[in-house]
Amino acid sequence: MSAGSGSFRERMLAGAPIVLDGGLGTALMAKGLPRGMPPEAWNLERGDVVTAVHRAYVDAGSEAVHANTFGANPIRLAAFGLERECEKINRVAVGLARAAMPRFVVGDVGPTGEYLPPVGKGDLARWREAFARQATALADAGADALHIETMTDLREARTALEVLLGEVPGIPVLVSMTFERKKRGCFTIMGDPLVGSLRTLVSDGAAAVGANCSITSLEMSTLMDEALRAVEAPLVAQPNAGTPEVGSDGALQYRQSPDDFAADMAALAERGVRLVGGCCGTDDRFIAALCGRLRAGVGA
Amino acid sequence: MHSDYLAMQQAVVDGDVETARLLARSLVESPSDLLPAIEQGFAAGIRRVGELWEEGEYFLPELVQGAEAMKAAMEVIQPALRSVDRNRQSKGRIVIGTVEGDLHDIGKSLVAVLLAANGFEVHDLGSSVPIETFLTKAAEVDADIIAASALLTTTMEVQTRLAAAVKERFSARRCHLMLGGAPTSPAWAERLGAHHAENAMQAVVVAESLLR
């Protein structure tokens, strides 16, 4: 185990909560990422902009930032003809994040974008191969941890986790799924329940588990309270900045204010969530506000 | 109610493709019953599936399986329907698809199935449909409505450009634009001069109200 991965694992377990970064794809869109271009393509074309976004998060107080690799598995990259660049895109991404000088760089592993039958035509064997390629590239580049994110199917999350733990042993692997509240509780769109899913992932070996994307910080608060009561592992929470709307200029807008977000997330950290950050629509102002709240104490 | 209708409903609610197909085959042998059977049988089943989804009882796998059963039944019934009643007026022509860059097909397909089951002539262009393809097809079939779905925050803005393109190419009265997809909202559709459908069942209601 590398010194970096060891210390990330230890940091998750003790001390102040770890402040992660906010949205990366939406931040790059705000910096002019062209329509239809995958954010990961900018690792090769506009590395300076990617590092600048990471640096804004580090300056705002992020202790760990995610490398720009959410869609950098070969199945997703193939849709843009970038499958062969998988290793390079992941390797370069870790370097771009490292250049912003965060304490930790987390390799981001998103879903394949496919569904298993009957919903889609996904194939577990192909998925395993895709996750293995991405994980190896991220680990070789020196990522301190890996974060499987935005999973809506527990089977895909478990497959990714199993592959990552097997391919790159020793590196802590975090897993976040995307839940929404239904009448009978919180579920993924595939019907996987909150507590059952997180417990399964912990027993499979996840170093931390939690939820990201889709919901607001307020919805995340009630969801995490359920998880805090029932899950014996470090928890990670990264909500969106509200529901996106299109503004008068045609650009996407997220209506939540950084202060509202920060209040909810600082309170969650106070209640025991170990890793707090943001997803789509959150930017460095949200992280700065969160860090300000944490420094001042939640009640301030 | 006709016991066969209940069986048809149940086949769709259970997502039982084979049973739905068998019931549809026996149905086309007595063609005069076709329309009430669709309405009170299969279509009632898919509406129930939609309700169970909204109530949080059903999730994506059940929803998709229900739509598959509905689709299997409609594939058997539609040719018979056309030969029985050549004069049957469609409620309107709809061109539907998911916008370019977005590969999500499921919700849009469900909307297409429901619109067809409710008497609309539906042209489903699939997913990741370029704006120009929407416009060309709409002109070709003289569409009353273009329906476009976006499931990603990153593809929502394509709907903005589609709205502008539709406005430019068609007068508002000739071709309505109906938008949907998880991140979309009524306020936002309104801002684009379009109409919003929250889900597949509502899409039918909106389409009917637009073409009344």
Residue type (1 letter), B87 = N
Written as six digits, the tokens of A25 are 């794809």
Alpha carbon separation from A87 to A134, A162, A231, B165, B185 (Å, rounded): 7, 20, 35, 39, 39
Instruction: Return the C-alpha torsion angle A267, A145, A79, B148, nearest 10.
Output: -10
Nearest to B201 by CA among B78, B12, B45: B45
Q: Which residues contact A84 (CB under 8 A, 6 or more apart)?
A: none
Of the candidates A113, A246, A252, the beta carbon closest to that of B103 is on A113
Please write the tens of the pLDDT for every residue from B126-144: 988 999 999 999 999 999 9
Best residue in B16, B110, B153 for a mutation probing chain A (most A CBs within 10 Å)? B153
Q: How far apart are CA B38 and CA B45, in angstroms?
A: 9
Residue type (1 letter), A79 = A
pLDDT category of residue B71 using cuts at 50, 70 and 90: confident
Of the candidates A25, A36, A118, the beta carbon closest to that of B61 is on A118
Secondary structure class of A276 (helix, strand, coil): strand
| ipTM summary value | 0.82
Written as six digits, the tokens of A189 are 């769109």
pLDDT at A135 over 80: yes
pLDDT at A238 over 70: yes
The per-residue pLDDT for B47 is 84
Q: Do B156 and A26 touch (CB under 8 A)?
A: no
Please write the tens of the pLDDT for every residue from A159-179: 999 999 999 999 999 999 999
A 10 A CB-CB count for A170 gives 11
With beta carbons under 8 A apart, name residues in chain B contacting A28. none
pLDDT at A3 over 80: no
> Taking CA atoms, what residue in A is nearest to B102?
A36
Cβ-contact B46, B117 below 8 angstroms? yes
pLDDT at A126 over 50: yes
A 10 A CB-CB count for B122 gives 23
pLDDT at A188 over 50: yes
pLDDT at A233 over 60: yes
- So where are chain B's domains? 3-84, 93-210
Residue A5: Cβ-neighbour burial (10 angstroms; 0-12, 13-18, 19+)? buried
Query: Chain B closest CA to A191's CA: distance in Å?
Result: 5
**The CATH number of the domain where A77 resides is what?**
3.20.20.330
Residue B40: in which H helix or E strand, if any? Answer: none
Written as six digits, the tokens of A192 are 């996987």
With beta carbons under 8 A apart, name residues in chain B contacting A245. 185, 187-188
Could you check whether the bond before residue A118 is cis, i.e. omega within 30 degrees of 0?
A: yes
In chain A, % of residues over pLDDT 70 = 94
B198 or A243, which is more confident: B198
> Taking CA atoms, what residue in A is nearest to B160?
A250
The per-residue pLDDT for B154 is 73
Written as six digits, the tokens of B6 are 């209940």
Please write the tens of the pLDDT for every residue from B179-195: 999 888 898 899 999 99
Please write the tens of the pLDDT for every residue from A42-90: 999 999 999 999 999 999 999 999 999 999 999 999 989 999 999 999 9
Which CATH number describes the domain made up of B93-210? Answer: 3.40.50.280
Cβ-contact B162, B99 below 8 angstroms? yes
The domain in which residue A214 lies consists of 3-296
State pTM to two decimals. Answer: 0.85
Cα dihedral sign, B167-B169-B173-B177: negative
Number of domains forming the structure of chain A: 1
Please write the tens of the pLDDT for every residue from A88-116: 999 999 999 999 999 999 999 999 999 99
> Taking CA atoms, what residue in B is nearest to A191?
B59
Nearest to A36 by CA among B131, B177, B178, B134: B131
A 10 A CB-CB count for A239 gives 30
Give the number of beta-carbon pairs within 8 Å between A and B: 61
Residues B7-35 have a mean pLDDT of 90
Q: β-strand A64-66 against A104-109: which pairing, if any?
A: parallel
Q: Do A245 and B185 touch (CB under 8 A)?
A: yes
Q: Domain B3-84, CATH 1.10.1240.10 — does that match? A: yes
Q: How far apart are CA A141 and CA A137, in angstroms?
A: 6
